[in-house]
């Protein structure tokens, strides 16, 4: 059997959000489909039994779905798909908010809130049959699973490997660096849009007027 043929089934890619013992949980899934549309929309999620997210959904009976957009940072997929919430606080690594107590990504193409109405254990997965209790639009077009397999998987592996090696969440180091330059003379902390390193040598502290060379990085 050519199992790669399965990659050509069209799914999207999603981050499921839930809670286990009051702590945020979640993972990446592709096995999420709409099953009926009336009288209320219903969906099916296939979740790996061994995963923490599976236990969280069984405990709360609810979860959110953030539909990943084509412009998603590959790190987001690796963060939620290549490690377990048992070993890492995955939500702490991404911009997110709570919607009715459950986490959703700040940036996604669309969002759903789902309530489990029935479930069936398959060999390795649980099929959760759910009602959509809320839905709202985000920004952009959805990422297609086949496009992820073809052109994003390698970048995702690379971004996650770099994160594991350095502990640095992509995009955060630059922001932190920018805010950590302090004037040794008056204590003013530089917080401008331009990275401190790129300010001209003639730039002066706006509080005490001392030159750039009197700043140090915290
Ligand atoms: C591209 C991709 C697709 C995935 N699809 C599913 C899926 O449909 N269902 C599922 O339960 N896990 C899926 N996973 C695996 C989980 O995201 C992964 O096992 C995760 O580490 C589980 O984390 P948890 O223990 O915190 O729940 C997928 C992972 C990737 C990278």
- pLDDT tens for 131-181 read 999 999 999 999 999 999 999 999 999 999 999 988 888 877 655 555 678
Cβ–ligand 1 distance for 61 under 6 Å, the answer no
Domain with CATH 2.20.28.10 in the chain: 173-217
Q: Report the SS3 class of residue 110.
A: strand
What is residue 85's predicted lDDT score, i.e. its pLDDT? 97
Which tokens in the block code for residue 145?
């699973």
Taking CA atoms only, the protein residue closest to ligand 1 atom 23 is: 84
Give the CATH number of domain 3-168; options: 3.40.50.720, 2.30.110.10, 2.70.170.10, 1.10.1510.10. 2.30.110.10
Cβ–ligand 1 distance for 79 under 6 Å, the answer no
Those residues of the chain that have pLDDT short of 50 are none
Q: Which atom of ligand 1 is nearest to the CA of 149?
A: 1
Per CATH, the number for 173-217 is 2.20.28.10
Interatomic CA distance for residues 53 and 17, integer angstroms: 8
Tokens 């990659």 identify what position? Answer: 7
CA 86 vs. chain centroid, Å, equals 16
**Cβ distance 51 to 18 under 8 Å?**
no
Domain with CATH 2.30.110.10 in the chain: 3-168
How far away, in angstroms, is 134 Cα from ligand 1 center?
A: 23
What is residue 176's predicted lDDT score, i.e. its pLDDT? 54
Q: Is pTM beyond 0.85 here?
A: no
Taking CA atoms only, the protein residue closest to ligand 1 atom 7 is: 29
Q: Given its phi and psi angles, is residue 79 left (phi above 0), alpha (psi -120 to 50 degrees) or beta?
A: alpha
Cβ–ligand 1 distance for 60 under 6 Å, the answer no
Cβ–ligand 1 distance for 126 under 6 Å, the answer no
How far away, in angstroms, is 189 Cα from ligand 1 center?
A: 42
Instruction: List the helix and strand counts (H, then E) for the chain.
Output: 5, 12
Cβ–ligand 1 distance for 78 under 6 Å, the answer no
How far away, in angstroms, is 139 Cα from ligand 1 center?
A: 23
**Cβ distance 64 to 99 under 8 Å?**
yes
What is residue 6's predicted lDDT score, i.e. its pLDDT? 84
Interatomic CA distance for residues 132 and 145, integer angstroms: 22
What is residue 191's predicted lDDT score, i.e. its pLDDT? 80
- pLDDT tens for 95-108 read 999 999 999 999 99
What is residue 178's predicted lDDT score, i.e. its pLDDT? 58
Sign of the torsion angle spanned by Cα atoms 206, 207, 208, 211? negative
Tell me the best of 6, 10, 23, 51 to mutate to test the pocket of ligand 1, counting ligand atoms within 8 Å of each CB and taking the most. 51
Interatomic CA distance for residues 133 and 115, integer angstroms: 7
Cβ–ligand 1 distance for 62 under 6 Å, the answer no
What is residue 209's predicted lDDT score, i.e. its pLDDT? 94
């Amino acid at each position: 059997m050519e199992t790669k043929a399965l990659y050509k089934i069209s799914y999207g890619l999603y981050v499921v959000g839930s809670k286990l013992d009051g702590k945020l949980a979640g993972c990446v899934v592709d096995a999420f489909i709409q099953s009926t549309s009336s009288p209320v929309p219903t969906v099916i999620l296939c979740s790996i039994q061994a995963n923490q997210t599976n236990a969280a959904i069984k405990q709360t009976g609810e979860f959110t779905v953030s539909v990943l957009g084509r412009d998603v940072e590959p790190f987001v997929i690796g963060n939620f798909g290549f490690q377990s919430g048992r070993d890492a606080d995955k939500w702490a690594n991404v911009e997110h908010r709570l919607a009715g107590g459950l986490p959703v990504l700040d940036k996604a193409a669309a969002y759903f809130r789902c309530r489990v109405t029935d479930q069936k254990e398959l060999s390795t997965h649980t099929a959760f049959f759910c009602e959509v209790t809320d839905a709202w639009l985000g920004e952009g077009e959805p990422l297609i699973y086949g496009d992820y397999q073809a052109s994003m998987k390698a970048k995702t592996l690379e971004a996650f490997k770099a994160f594991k090696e350095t502990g640095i969440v992509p995009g955060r180091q630059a922001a932190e660096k920018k805010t950590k330059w302090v004037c040794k003379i008056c204590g003013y902390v530089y917080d401008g849009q331009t990275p401190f390193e790129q300010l001209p040598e003639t730039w002066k502290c706006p509080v005490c007027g001392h030159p750039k060379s009197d700043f140090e990085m915290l």
